[in-house]
Chain A
Amino acid sequence: MKDQILHTLQDLRAYALQKGVEASFFYHEEDSYLMRFANSAISLNTNERLIRLEITAHKDRQRASYELITALDKLDEMQRGVDIAAEMVQHAQPLSYQPTIPVYTESFSDESAYDPALATLSNEERLAFFNRVAAGLETDAIQLSGIFSCGANILAQINTRSEHTQYFKTSDAQITIVLSHTALKWEVSAEQSAQQKADLNPDVLRRDLVFLVEHYQHDTPQQLPLGTYDIVFGPSAIADLLDFMGFIGYNGGLMKRGFSFLNEDQVGQRVLSSKFTLTDDPTRRETFPFQRDMMGIARQPFPVFANGVFEGFVWSQDEADEFGAQPTGHTVMHNSIVMQGGDVAASTLQELVAMPRENDVLYIPYLHYMNVVNPSKGLITGSSRFGALLLKKDGSVVVPYNVRLTQSLLDIFGDKVAWLSQAQVVVNASSSYGARNPRAIIVPALLQVNGLEISHSNPSY
């Protein structure tokens, strides 16, 4: 299959050259399997095998793209796509900068993050995983939801500047399990990411769900008073916050557009907590990494923050071209973000609950529907979901209704940081929008931030 893909790209390159078209080809193939659960049933069990081809025609500063869903034996259809892109580029308004077309000096192939055993898990194996996690936890009132998504992803590239190709193949799985009460409407969840089959561990998910269900089933929920709280974020919440930092923080192009809470004067300055170290680390295979970016640049670990000091913006090639910066190997579908752990041994919810504490602590494992309120201030908003707990200083545990946080990332990751777990957790951050793009963020298992304000508190679930 790999040879067939690369031969097809070579044929398309030859066709473009013959037509006198400067073109780039981006091939994406996914073999996706999704088992979806709702109301304790399998509500959808589907698979999709799709090939997408994006053809970009270039003419000096003009650029135009055409994308189609196709099949490898439909070369005529792909060639028509080249013709269409070539026609479109004639009419494209020139960019204000000269875009770079990469010249690959050698062919590159990376299948190191591909495990066929994970990519082709059977229906029975996926169902067995769910059944094992949920065994004994479902009742007439407590229902199971979730997804088991797994598959394989292939990316391949060529352009008319050189005959060399780039080829990437990965396997991934994303598991989300939700238990919810049909009448009371509470919901708790557990998540897992896998790059290879050996990463799958249903017992870890089950451990967390058993603990949360026990509290949510038997404790009386409370509406929290508005005010400031010491908050411990769980892995999903931390990863989501870091995702937004990648969007409105250290992205060079967005900074230049005034859509960032960081600026160039802050490079080399301490901006965040000295406990905060963030790296884009493509050596971590759990992040489904790109060892090379789409421009053929070899990717190395790239420090973003070191002990709170801002080390620099990341620049994709196109943004670097536009703003006169140096590209940093970040022309990729996703980065490999790793947040360093701290010095606290507690890494599970159970261990957190058992920790002695001087104040009440609000545990928020997940932030729902986060969005940017004001990028220049790093201000984001989102609501707690999926198993928040108020850990009282007397050792008792209270189930709270969901709350809203509207806070600056500068505060969340700034001097209000109290501690981080030593242990790290892999959080699968893939979405099912558009083409499959498995990605994961590695974060400390727990992060405590003191004195954050809750801006809204629900009176019910």
Chain B
Amino acid sequence: MGVLGGFGPELFDKAFDNARVAAERVTFPVRLAEKDAIQASFTSPNQIDPFTVPLADKLAFMQAMDAKLNQPGVFQRICQLTFTRKQIVFMDSEGSEIEKTIVEVFPSIQVAGLDAQGQMHSRTYQPPRMGDTRGWETLDMEVFSENAERIVREMNEVLAADDCPKDVRSVILLPGIMFLQTHETIGHALELDRILGYELAFAGGSFVRLSDFGALRYGSEKLTARADATIPNSPGSFGYDDDGIPAQNNLLIDKGLLVGAITGRQMVEEANARANKVIFDGSSGANRATSFYRVPIERMTNINIDPGDDGTLDDIVSHTERGIILDGDKSWSIGSNREQFHFATDIGWLVEDGQVTRVVKNSTYQGETVPFYNSLSAVGDASTWEVQYTPNCGKGQPNQIMQLGHGVPVCRFDNVRIGE
């Protein structure tokens, strides 16, 4: 419950009344998984706190970014620098006292243009996390310059391109769309509160059942996914969750086999009780709240796909007979149990006999989650792996916005429907 203007007796009276009536409908009494009492602090790694940088310097940086985008063919350009600082003090009656200061920088640039039919097409660059810090020092004008030139060129190629054909092909997902594929069909699908039915009033459930852990072949043997809240440079790393559980690095999918979920203290107890066996050995440290007036719920940390041994992007392309390379998150729509999906991307490059042939516009692909991941036929090496961030993942009623990350390589999936 959130009430402005201090902590008066009225606040506690209302909270008590809310709890009193809620107690009239209880089907599984709340129990919390055991944890250690922790006294600790966490500060996200920063060399330069962006909040100490003068506003004039920030605007000068953005104007320099913007100047790089002001090129022929560009109808609209957007430069964005978002800075956030969260100061969280967590205390509980179990003896934990944790103080966190989390500072983030979220930059992006976007260009849009109109094609001959008046249709708008855009291209976006959101730099992957580089280095081991998250502060102002991560903003590299050289990187923006290179990528500004690239996205303007690619957007102009899209403006002149034909539509993506309706076909069945291999799709090669670059990190700029693979992160969202991972987010929507591995991340959300493996949130334990969704699996247990706590999001059915709105966001939906999950095709995953408790009996699937240790049994479901979620993907091919090339698929290893993990929830890793320990990588230093991503917003999905926060030291301790809002239950006071230390950050962890847990396998979710091990060589294709489903082995783990995104969990908090309450849900693991309920899941184990419902399954009548221990599936989850304690919380995975993934309960977070968007603000002081919302309750913590299961949120993704950094939901990552491990790099594979299929080489570089060029290597994967050279071993693809009929495919399409896709990048950019233009549109996404996912089934209520995360069982199927439809994505549209900013750009596509057709691949024929191991060669990139031409750019296409209005690219889309769709599939069913489990067959799709079981068609994973190539996973790029570490050179293709990038940590992409998500600054605005929405979940819950009332809604909560959360920041997180996805470390993903280039991935190829076979026999996928495109162009619909």
Contacts of B342 in A (CB 8 A): 371, 373, 381, 404, 406, 455-456
Nearest-Cβ distance from residue A407 to partner chain B, whole angstroms = 11
The reply on B3 being an interface residue by CB < 8 A is yes
Is B4 in contact with A51, judged by CB distance below 8 angstroms?
A: yes
Known: A47-B18, A48-B2. A34 touches B398 (CB 8 A): yes
Q: Which residue of A lies closest to B331 (CB)?
A: A371
Residue from A42, A50, A51, A406 in contact with B420 in the complex, judged by beta carbons closer than 8 Å: A406
The B1-36 residues at the A interface (CB cut-off 8 A) are 1-5, 14, 17-22, 24-28
Spot the interface stretch: A102-110, A179-187, A306-314, A338-346.
A179-187
Contact of B197 among A182, A370, A375, A385 (CB under 8 A): A182
Pick the contact of B200 from A73, A145, A375 — CB < 8 Å? A145
Partner of A41, one of B28, B201, B368: B28
Cβ–Cβ contact B26 & A46, under 8 A = no
Question: Across the two chains, which residue of chain A brings its CB closest to B193?
Answer: A38
Tell which of B117, B397, B401 has the most Cβ of chain A within 10 Å. Answer: B397
Q: Give 1 or 0 for each of B42-77: 1 = CB within 8 Å of chain A CB.
A: 000000000000011001000100100000000110
Q: Tell me which of A45, A70, A375, A381 contacts B21 (CB under 8 A).
A: A45
A396-438: contact bitstring with B at CB < 8 Å (1 yes, 0 no)? Answer: 0000001010100000000000000000000000011110000
Number of interface residues of B (CB under 8 A): 63
Contact B201 A50 (CB under 8 A): no
**Interface residue stretch chosen among A164-172, A257-265, A268-276:** A257-265
Please, which residue of chain B has its CB at the minimum distance from the CB of A84? B55
- CB under 8 Å from chain A, chain B span 326-366: 331-337, 339-340, 342, 344, 362, 364, 366
Q: Are B25 and A50 within 8 A (Cβ)? A: no
Interface centre among A43, A44, A383 (most CB of B within 10 A): A43
Interface bracket on A = 35 or more
- Asked if B3 and A123 make an inter-chain contact with CB atoms under 8 angstroms apart, the answer reads no
A460 to B207, CA, bound (A): 9
A336 within 8 A of B: no
Bitwise interface map of A from 129 to 147 toward B, beta carbon under 8 Å scored 1, else 0 = 0000000000000010111
Contacts A50-B293, A368-B336, A381-B342 given: A34-B19 contact, CB under 8 Å?
no
- Contact (Cβ within 8 A) B333 A50: no
Q: A258 — which chain B residues lie within 8 A by C-beta?
A: 75, 112, 114, 118-120
- A window 14-64: CB within 8 A of B: 32, 34-51
A11 within 8 A of B: no
How far apart sit A182 and B364, CA to CA, in the bound complex (Å)?
Answer: 33
B204 in contact (CB, < 8 A): yes
Contact A374-B362, Cβ < 8 Å, known A258-B114, A406-B420 = yes
A71 in the interface, Cβ–Cβ < 8 Å? yes
Bound Cα distance A182, B333 (Å):
24
Complex-state Cα separation, A38 to B4, whole angstroms = 28
List B contacts of A80 (CB < 8 A).
none
Tell me the complex Cα distance, A368–B334, Å. Answer: 8
Question: Could you say which residues of chain B place their CB within 8 Å of the CB of A73?
Answer: 5
Q: Is B198 touching A48 in the complex (CB atoms < 8 A)?
A: no
Whether the Cβ atoms of A37 and B120 lie closer than 8 Å is: no
Is the C-beta of B214 less than 8 angstroms from some C-beta in chain A? no
Hey, what's the 0/1 contact readout for A81-107 against B, CB within 8 Å counting as 1? 000000110011100000000000000
Q: Which residue on chain B has the smallest CB distance to residue A431? A: B399
| Contact between A38 and B198, CB atoms less than 8 A apart | yes
Known: A45-B22, A432-B399. A50 touches B2 (CB 8 A): yes
B75 — which chain A residues lie within 8 A by C-beta? Answer: 257-258
Shortest C-beta distance, A265 to chain B (Å), equals 11
Q: Say whether B340 contacts A145, CB under 8 Å.
A: no
Once the chains bind, are B4 and A143 in contact (CB under 8 Å)?
no
Find out whether the CB atom of B2 lies under 8 angstroms from the CB atom of A123. no
Q: B38 contacts the other chain (Cβ, under 8 Å)?
A: no
Of B1, B14, B117, most A-chain CB atoms within 10 Å: B1
Q: How far is the CB of B120 from chain A (nearest CB, A)?
A: 3
Within the complex, the shortest CB–CB distance from A287 to chain B, in Å, comes to 21
Is B198 a contact of A257 with CB atoms below 8 Å? no
Q: Is the CB–CB distance between B26 and A257 below 8 Å?
A: no
> What is the distance, in angstroms, from B78's C-beta to the closest C-beta of chain A?
11
Task: Knowing A50-B293, A375-B120 are in contact, say whether A369-B334 is a contact too (CB < 8 A).
Answer: yes
Contact with A along B359-380 (1 / 0, CB 8 A): 0001010101000000000000
| Contact residues in A for B5 (Cβ distance below 8 Å) | 71, 73
24 inter-chain pairs at a CB distance below 8 angstroms, sorted by A residue, are A35-B21, A37-B201, A38-B197, A39-B198, A42-B22, A48-B3, A48-B398, A73-B5, A93-B59, A123-B17, A143-B27, A182-B197, A257-B120, A258-B118, A374-B119, A374-B362, A376-B119, A383-B333, A404-B342, A432-B399, A458-B340, A458-B368, A460-B339, A461-B337
B residues contacting A by CB (< 8 A) are 1-5, 14, 17-22, 24-28, 55-56, 59, 63, 66, 75-76, 112, 114, 117-120, 196-202, 204-205, 207, 293, 295, 331-337, 339-340, 342, 344, 362, 364, 366, 368, 394, 397-399, 401, 420
In the complex, besides A32-B398, A46-B295, A432-B398, 8 extra interface pairs with C-beta distance below 8 angstroms are A38-B201, A257-B75, A259-B120, A369-B333, A373-B331, A374-B344, A375-B120, A404-B342
